[in-house]
Amino acid sequence: MPDTATPGVAPIALDAMGGDHAPDEIVAGAVQAVRQHGIPIVLVGSPRPVYEALSRHDATAEIPIVRAEEVLKMDEGALASLRRPRSSIAVACHLVRRGDASAVVSAGSTAGIVATGKLRLRSQQGVLRPAIAVALPTRPTPSVLLDAGANAEVKPEMLVQFAHLGSAYAETALDIEKPRVGLLTIGSEPEKGNKLVRRAHELLSAASGLDFAGNVEGHDLLTKVADVIVTDGFTGNVALKTIEGSVRYAFTELRETIEESRAARLGGLLQRRRLRELHRRLDPEEHGGAVLLGLNGTVVIAHGASRAQGVSAACVLAARISRQGVVARIGERLTAAHRPHRLWRSSAPGTHGTDAPV
Amino acid sequence: MPDTATPGVAPIALDAMGGDHAPDEIVAGAVQAVRQHGIPIVLVGSPRPVYEALSRHDATAEIPIVRAEEVLKMDEGALASLRRPRSSIAVACHLVRRGDASAVVSAGSTAGIVATGKLRLRSQQGVLRPAIAVALPTRPTPSVLLDAGANAEVKPEMLVQFAHLGSAYAETALDIEKPRVGLLTIGSEPEKGNKLVRRAHELLSAASGLDFAGNVEGHDLLTKVADVIVTDGFTGNVALKTIEGSVRYAFTELRETIEESRAARLGGLLQRRRLRELHRRLDPEEHGGAVLLGLNGTVVIAHGASRAQGVSAACVLAARISRQGVVARIGERLTAAHRPHRLWRSSAPGTHGTDAPV
């Protein structure tokens, strides 16, 4: 049942060539996004295989294709994006830049998407470094972790900016009022951690427009002690993948435990449906992916292993983010943070509109 | 049933004053270690409360007390260890130094234990920095992660040493022949990661006496792709706490899922015992704690929240490590690694004896 369709909204530019299962699963995800969620999609990639995949869903009339001659391979790094100005991800960015698409979605190589996005969409004014934000499955609302891998080396002032990027994301896409910001480190006292984190702690404590809640540790990532958790891209990526690995590990151990005994197996049968639901909620595929914040346009990075369901979820996420005006909200926050007198503290409720996508 | 008692073995010096539940749970853990595992213990701390706690177990005749006038509080950092030469942890180290104890066990502040251990036991010859190693619950054998928090800032050559420390631990305490070493980073290719990791990758690739298996990522920590995983103490501590938090999270979610439906609740009852067993295996309390490697003596750091069971497990671990001669094995490895001609590759099987504790 289409519930998010808005007439006249620019489509999502979906990179048909990125990901382990491109183009077939990407196209299947596009069909699902259109038919189940009413999200307009344009597929960017090599016309023939994409058209053939669309035919198998009888969807050639529903989803247009934009030609891109080149493909950024999964193992190609940042430099390749310079050498391939007509890659599917570069063309998708170009569509957003021209206003012909509202957001980019790709399941391609993260390094390639980040490099291409920075080159083709450019950073927003005042943004030192775009960062990758992921929504962790905390309750009642998700927590935003960033940077999850765009910047392996950062400076303390970048962590303060990440706090603004993440707060803007939490306020708009996740509807969290006055998000609390935590700094990921290895002890709760301000003097704990490494040089980067100690200096960032000072800057965050003094920053205006942020609700800084202090240090958080690895075991706090899923306990909702903060709405936004900032860290460098190296630590953030290790932490994110450790969460994924640990949850997968706990479920595997659990399944084996269930299968070991007959009585327990009976119990397991009774629970199978609920376990599946839980697993789905924790599965990164289902979250829709990571968001590259700080560019002049919305870019969603789907998991490289995404199948149709994950691709569709990424398109839903991209449509929501673009509709909620995260880009504009980041602009407002950074402008306010740089005002010389720093009178601004935080937005009055309701003042940040939900600006429509281009 | 005592299974590890050896006549004439020096006792474990157990810090009675460190930890959230000291001295009562520490003393209870000591009693358990002595009675259930036959491990000789000497309790170090303030005589009166320790004696009173021992009385409640009718154990005053079984476990001697060594007086320590001062206590290193949980919130005291590294500097306090200089100001408190008669703290319970300092006195415990002194016992090992004098040969009156075979190992130190403490559930006190990690920073305090590391600083005191370095000051009182000194680093082994050739060790740049002692590191904290933890055994992750992989199968069939545990994996060793280090540094888990002793050194927030490290240099690339320290990561190579950590590989030797961890390999010595894996070879002796965990009985793993020719341990494979992985480098924790954010991509599998050698050029991925930050400056520290890229340089460490080069050094590890060229190092003799190590079986370097290349880069590993956060999701590999529990999949046994390597026997030893090296990283800086900041990333390692975040990763370790993230594992603990994620596993706890998965279990909480699971329990709620089970309790949500009546049919599933029935299933849950059937499984309760097996789940408890699984949870126990994943519980850091049960692993016995972290080991501070690279000092002239064995130091085991129990979880600060340890209760009797965790304290007892830490004593069992300390006795095993001390018996297996990890300290001597580290000495052999570092000597071999620094031989000018680097002819040495790896030990022939069976050449590293299980030297008895002092």
- Cβ–Cβ gap B237/A257 under 8 Å: no
- Kindly list the domain boundaries of chain B, sorted by start residue: 1-127+294-324, 129-286+325-347
Asked if residue B301 lies in contact with residue B110, where contact means CB atoms within 8 angstroms, the answer is yes
- Cβ–Cβ gap A271/B268 under 8 Å: yes
Bridge-based pairing state of the strands B228-230 and B180-184: parallel
Eight-state DSSP code of residue B230: E
Strand-pairing partners, residue B132, are: B292
Residue to substitute from B114, B229, B270, interface A, most A β-carbons within 10 A: B270
Cα–Cα distance measured from residue A117 to residue A301, given in angstroms and rounded to the nearest whole number: 11
| Fold matches, B1-127+294-324 and B129-286+325-347 | yes
Stated as kind and residue range, the H or E segment containing B209 is none
Cα–Cα distance measured from residue A228 to residue A44, given in angstroms and rounded to the nearest whole number: 33
Chain A contact set for B199 (CB, 8 A): none
Backbone φ, ψ for residue A104 (5° rounding): -110, 140
Which pairs from B95-101 meet CB under 8 Å and 24+ separation? B95/B13, B95/B42, B95/B44, B95/B66, B96/B13, B96/B121, B96/B297, B96/B298, B97/B121, B97/B296, B97/B297, B99/B10, B99/B358, B100/B10, B100/B13, B100/B42, B101/B10, B101/B11, B101/B12, B101/B13, B101/B42
Cα–Cα distance measured from residue A288 to residue A314, given in angstroms and rounded to the nearest whole number: 4
Write out the DSSP string of B1-63.
---S--TTPPPEEEETT-STTTTHHHHHHHHHHHHHH---EEEEE-HHHHHHHHHHTT-TTTS
pLDDT at A310: 92
Cα–Cα distance measured from residue A275 to residue B38, given in angstroms and rounded to the nearest whole number: 43
Q: Name the residue among A246, A268, A271 with its Cβ closest to that of B246.
A: A246
ipTM of predicted complex: 0.87
CATH class of A1-127+294-323: alpha beta
Strand-pairing partners, residue A132, are: A292
Residue to substitute from A73, A186, A199, A240, interface B, most B β-carbons within 10 A: A186
pLDDT at A352: 42
Chain B contact set for A154 (CB, 8 A): none
Strand-pairing partners, residue B181, are: B212, B228
- Cβ–Cβ gap A249/B223 under 8 Å: yes
Q: Name the residue among A152, A231, A270 with its Cβ closest to that of B264.
A: A270
Please give the CATH topology (third level) of the domain spanning B129-286+325-347. Answer: Isopropylmalate Dehydrogenase (3.40.718)
Identify the residue whose tokens are 């390999």: B167
pLDDT in tens, B331-345: 999 998 876 544 444
Chain A contact set for B189 (CB, 8 A): 75
In terms of CA atoms, which chain A residue is nearest residue B272? Answer: A264
* Residue A76 predicted with pLDDT over 90: no
- Mean pLDDT for chain A? 86
A83 or B152, greater pLDDT = B152
- Mean pLDDT for chain B? 86
* Residue B67 predicted with pLDDT over 80: yes
Residues with Cβ < 8 Å from A319, sequence gap 6 or more?
A4, A9, A12, A37, A39, A102, A103
- Cβ–Cβ gap B247/A250 under 8 Å: yes
**A161 exposed, middle or buried (CB, 10 Å; 0-12, 13-18, 19+)?**
buried
Cα–Cα distance measured from residue A325 to residue A92, given in angstroms and rounded to the nearest whole number: 19
The beta strand positions in A206-315, using DSSP E, are: 211-216, 228-230, 290-293, 298-301
Instruction: Give mean pLDDT, residues B49-71.
Output: 95
Backbone φ, ψ for residue B229 (5° rounding): -120, 120
Chain A contact set for B186 (CB, 8 A): 149, 152, 233-234, 237-238, 241
CATH class of B1-127+294-324: alpha beta
- Cβ–Cβ gap A267/B263 under 8 Å: no
* Residue B279 predicted with pLDDT over 80: no
Chain B contact set for A239 (CB, 8 A): 218, 238-239, 242
Asked if residue B50 lies in contact with residue B37, where contact means CB atoms within 8 angstroms, the answer is no
Cα–Cα distance measured from residue B289 to residue B217, given in angstroms and rounded to the nearest whole number: 23
pLDDT at B271: 58
Q: Mean pLDDT: which of A29-43, A59-73, B1-15 is highest?
A: A29-43
Confidence band, pLDDT 50/70/90 cuts, at residue A158: very high
Residue A145, SS3? strand
Confidence band, pLDDT 50/70/90 cuts, at residue B217: very high
- Cβ–Cβ gap B218/A242 under 8 Å: yes
Chain A contact set for B149 (CB, 8 A): 186
Chain B contact set for A189 (CB, 8 A): 75
Asked if residue A226 lies in contact with residue A143, where contact means CB atoms within 8 angstroms, the answer is yes
Strand-pairing partners, residue B136, are: B143
Cα–Cα distance measured from residue A154 to residue A319, given in angstroms and rounded to the nearest whole number: 30
In terms of CA atoms, which chain A residue is nearest residue B250? Answer: A247
CB pairs under 8 A between A and B: 182
Residue A92, SS3? helix
Radius of gyration of chain B (CA): 21
Residues with Cβ < 8 Å from A96, sequence gap 6 or more?
A13, A102, A103, A104, A121, A297, A298
Write out the DSSP string of A194-217.
-HHHHHHHHHHHH-TT-EEEEEE-
Poorest-pLDDT segment among A20-24, A344-348, B87-91, B240-244: A344-348
Tally Cβ neighbours within 10 Å of residue B189: 13
Poorest-pLDDT segment among A27-41, A81-95, A208-222, A310-324: A81-95
CATH class of A133-286+325-346: alpha beta
Q: Name the residue among A237, A264, A281 with its Cβ closest to that of B186.
A: A237
pLDDT at A353: 39
- Cβ–Cβ gap A267/B267 under 8 Å: yes
pLDDT at A285: 58
Q: Name the residue among B189, B193, B243 with its Cβ closest to that of A152.
A: B193
Asked if residue A41 lies in contact with residue A34, where contact means CB atoms within 8 angstroms, the answer is yes
Q: Name the residue among B223, B239, B270 with its Cβ closest to that of A264.
A: B270
- Cβ–Cβ gap A218/B277 under 8 Å: no
- Cβ–Cβ gap B242/A242 under 8 Å: yes
B198 or B2, greater pLDDT = B198
Chain A contact set for B182 (CB, 8 A): none
Confidence band, pLDDT 50/70/90 cuts, at residue A188: confident
Chain A contact set for B244 (CB, 8 A): 218-219
Residue B143, SS3? strand
Q: Name the residue among A187, A191, A222 with its Cβ closest to that of B245.
A: A222
Confidence band, pLDDT 50/70/90 cuts, at residue A356: very low
Asked if residue B67 lies in contact with residue B13, where contact means CB atoms within 8 angstroms, the answer is no
Half-sphere exposure of B224 (CA within 13 A, CB side): 9
Residue to substitute from B132, B191, B216, B234, interface A, most A β-carbons within 10 A: B234
Residue A14, SS3? strand
- Cβ–Cβ gap A217/B266 under 8 Å: no
